[in-house]
Amino acid sequence: MTATPTLRDWIEGTLAAGLAPTHLIVTDESHLHAGHSGARPGGETHFRLNVVSAAFEGKSRIDRHRLVNGLLAGAFARGLHALAVTARTPAEAA
């Protein structure tokens, strides 16, 4: 029997496969939103992403966020409520 990955692990794996990032930090900030809309016991509702990928080259900030949100569409079905994204190219991160 294979355990279902945490939402954090699923997000990390999905972004790793879809963006081949050189840097990726996925932070669960759900504890900061306890009692607010979308929060639930056990967390995994509010995440902050810091991702650096060549896939963002030539894309506007909005297009970068659309790319990330498109890859993570399944996370919202799993209970993700809010996502803060910092998406940079390797040159921007240097």
* CATH number of the domain within which 16 lies: 3.30.300.90
Angle between helices 7-19 and 61-71 (to 10 degrees): 120
Instruction: Indicate if the pLDDT at residue 38 is higher than 60.
Output: no
C-alpha span between 2 and 25 (Å, rounded): 25
The CB-side HSE value for 8 (13 A sphere, CA atoms) comes to 13
Q: What is the pTM of this model?
A: 0.84
The residue with tokens 């967390």 is 43
The residue with tokens 């009692």 is 35
Domain with 48 in it: 7-93
Specify if 1 maps to a domain: no
How confident is the model at residue 43, as a pLDDT? 66
pLDDT digits (tens, 9 = 90+) for 3-21: 778 999 999 999 999 999 9
